[in-house]
Amino acid sequence: MAKAPKFILATEYYPPDSSTTATYLGAIARAIAQDMTTIVLSGTPGSDKLKAIGQSTVEVIEIANWRPPKHALAKRLIASTMLAIRLFWAVYRWARSGDVVMSVTSPFTLPYAITLAARLRGAKTVLLIFDLYPEALIAAGLTRQTSVVARALRLANGWLFKSLNAIFVIGRDVAPLLLRYPRVRADVIHFVPNWTLLPIGFRPPDEENRLRSLSSSKFLVGLCGNLGFTHAPRTIFEAARLLRKQKGIHFVLSGWGVGWTELKTLQASENLENVTLLDPVPEEQLAEFLTAADAWVIPYRRNVAGVSIPSRLYNFLAVGRAVIVGTEPGSEAGLAVAEENIGWVVPAEDAAAFAQAISEAAADRTATLERGRRAAIAALKYTEQASTLRYRDIVRHLCAEEETNPN
């Protein structure tokens, strides 16, 4: 008798890692474990202890992994290559014909090795795209469209994407980029958004919120999160400079990453009175922090549609706040804000447009509050239950259908 198919997730990041990537992958694996045997091949230290202490129904096999500091790019490339080789052999050992093997795009070396191993074993292959390469590297200014690196990645992607039985994307703006590759079928691409990690519900502005005491201004604009290579926090600083004479508006900026370092340097040089910089708050204080602002901004760089993850947007929606996003209209963040009428979509890296939208939001706080109420309602579309059910449905379908050759 043939054995029932297994679901195998191969990833570097998994709980107890505290990153949002690990959080989402942990939820997906636990959800699929309700339907079938689920094995996680994890590069996160301590992840194999979760089942033993009753925190998971998933079997986790920990894979040795060297984690150099984020700024050590050469060492991180070597480490990710070593992990890809180890995960290749782990998948080859554990996967069998009919199993479903899923990889993720972080780090970018993993999907190629894991998909190859799965196909050699006759397993079905799935990719969850968090970051699309080489587009992410190009948007970050780390390589050029015509570079050897970009060409090599596109060549590898051509094989990878046509080899997959299913591709999960977290933004509708990703599919057009994938369909540029020859022999990639639209029917294997499935849009499943990330979800809010906070309880959903409109929280009216509370003047007693301790964070609002940072300024006497009536309207607070917030920026927070990982300010990475695909973001343009300098644009918000320039918008604050343009609005420095409007005493009723104050900017509270927080975060980490290369953009945060840039903001600290700018503020140290100019010391704008309408800007306050704050270190990231602990996770348990995040909801209180998000409700302190009247509106939140997300400044993307140009040409990052389909490249940057809009995850922070969902937490802004969850607490019921209007959002001002600088991006292309066709990006997932731009689509969500415009479709739900929960804020403003302005051109990327346009400080004047940001300043104008912020002025409009501050001038009519009643309308801005109403956008926030609609945001909390829209957040109900982005729940863990809804997204993980979609993952379960597609994986069950893959297990039920006859083996097909994606070529």
Q: What is the CATH number of the domain that holds 250?
A: 3.40.50.2000
Give the mean pLDDT of 130-141: 83
The per-residue pLDDT of the chain, averaged, comes to 91
- pLDDT band at 2; cut points 50, 70, 90: low
Pairing of strands 343-346, 275-278: unpaired
Q: What pLDDT does 52 receive? A: 57
Range of the domain at 171: 7-195+383-400
Q: Is residue 119 one of the residues assigned to a domain?
A: yes
Q: Comparing 3-7, 35-39, 82-86, 383-387, which segment has the lowest mean pLDDT?
A: 3-7
Q: Are residues 230 and 362 in the same domain?
A: yes
Q: Are residues 393 and 368 in the same domain?
A: no
Q: Is residue 406 one of the residues assigned to a domain?
A: no
Q: What pLDDT digit, counting tens, does each position of 368-386 carry?
A: 999 999 999 999 999 999 9
Q: How far apart are CA 98 and CA 329, in angstroms?
A: 40
Q: What pLDDT does 391 receive? A: 97
How many percent of the chain have pLDDT more than 70?
A: 96
Q: How far apart are CA 390 and CA 381, in angstroms?
A: 12
Q: What pLDDT digit, counting tens, does each position of 140-167 carry?
A: 777 888 899 889 999 999 999 999 999 9
pLDDT reading at 204 higher than 80: yes
Q: How far apart are CA 94 and CA 82, in angstroms?
A: 19
Q: What pLDDT digit, counting tens, does each position of 46-60 carry?
A: 988 866 555 568 999
Q: Are residues 357 and 282 in the same domain?
A: yes
Q: Are residues 248 and 309 in the same domain?
A: yes
Q: Are residues 97 and 216 in the same domain?
A: no
Q: Is residue 205 one of the residues assigned to a domain?
A: no
Q: Are residues 274 and 189 in the same domain?
A: no
Domain count, the chain: 2
Q: What pLDDT does 56 receive? A: 64
Q: Are residues 331 and 387 in the same domain?
A: no
Q: Is residue 347 one of the residues assigned to a domain?
A: yes
Q: Are residues 172 and 248 in the same domain?
A: no
How many percent of the chain have pLDDT more than 90?
A: 71
Q: Is residue 2 one of the residues assigned to a domain?
A: no
DSSP, residue by residue, 2-64: PPPP-EEEEES--TTS-SHHHHHHHHHHHHHTTTS-EEEEE-STTGGGTTTTTS-SSEEEE--
Q: Are residues 161 and 34 in the same domain?
A: yes
Q: Are residues 348 and 251 in the same domain?
A: yes
Q: Is residue 64 one of the residues assigned to a domain?
A: yes
Higher-confidence residue of 270 and 228: namely 270
Half-sphere exposure of 136 (CA within 13 A, CB side): 16
Q: Are residues 322 and 185 in the same domain?
A: no
Q: Are residues 359 and 255 in the same domain?
A: yes
Q: Is residue 201 one of the residues assigned to a domain?
A: no
pTM for this prediction:
0.90
Q: Is residue 202 one of the residues assigned to a domain?
A: no
Q: What pLDDT does 40 receive? A: 96
Q: Comparing 11-20, 34-43, 273-282, 300-309, which segment has the lowest mean pLDDT?
A: 300-309
Q: Comparing 1-15, 291-305, 390-404, which segment has the lowest mean pLDDT?
A: 390-404
